[in-house]
Chain A
Amino acid sequence: GQNIDQPTEMTATEGAIVQINCTYQTSGFNGLFWYQQHAGEAPTFLSYNVLDGLEEKGRFSSFLSRSKGYSYLLLKELQMKDSASYLCARGGGGNKLTFGTGTQLKVEL
């Protein structure tokens, strides 16, 4: 299988930093994606990692360690609008994209 695990829920304070972790099975790996999804809407692309290391995009950064089957999404300067579900997704054979369980992030004042 391609078990992709993330915490189910997280809570953080406005202005703070939060890290959302994701672990996945490494066989047949073809890239790691992070998406943001608000309730009732389609996922929105945030980041893509295929090589080890950190990719930074404004307030969002994503890290990948291929040998460990591990990634994290880092959100800085949290805003209320960042309250959403964050989905880790693994690219695999046949261009298949498989999603993790999703992490529901709640940003509080």
Chain B
Amino acid sequence: GAVVSQHPSWVICKSGTSVKIECRSLDFQATTMFWYRQFPKQSLMLMATSNEGSKATYEQGVEKDKFLINHASLTLSTLTVTSAHPEDSSFYICSAHKQGDYGYTFGSGTRLTVV
């Protein structure tokens, strides 16, 4: 079945630094990838939609200059949290969608803690 690999699983960084999270589709080409953020005991909030070779589409209220998304190939999307602050501490999850398929495959998530 379709597998999405997300790295790192967890990361601790200092305030003001940047963190990059990778999301790879291992056995299929993902025409669209999605990035979500989840705070404790809350649901997944869509941050942005990423299409290969084009700029990401951000949801209302999500700062595109702070959360940089790159989808350089059909198997890789990255999310970079720039100038991280403690309030950015959250669980970040990616999902990938294969054209022509109805399903979505999720990565295992990244726990980001900013200290």
Contacts and interface: CB of A to CB of B under 8 A. Distances in A.
Interface in B16-74: 32, 34, 36, 41-46, 49, 57
A12 B93 CA distance: 29
A98 interface: yes
From DSSP, what is the main secondary structure of chain B's interface residues? Answer: strand
Interface stretch (A53-61, A62-70, A72-80, A99-107): A99-107
Size band of the A side of the interface?
Answer: 20 to 34
B12 to A, nearest CB: 15
B97 A45 contact: no
Nearest to B32: A95
A6 B32 CA distance: 27
Contacts of B46: 96-99
B111 A97 contact: no
A102 B108 contact: no
B86 interface: no
A91 B49 CA distance: 13
Nearest to A42: B106
Contacts of A100: 43
Nearest to B4: A42
B109 A41 contact: yes
Nearest 6 Cβ contacts at the A-B interface: A102-B43, A42-B106, A99-B44, A99-B43, A42-B109, A95-B97
Interface of A: 31, 33, 40-43, 45, 48, 50, 85, 87, 91, 94-102, 104
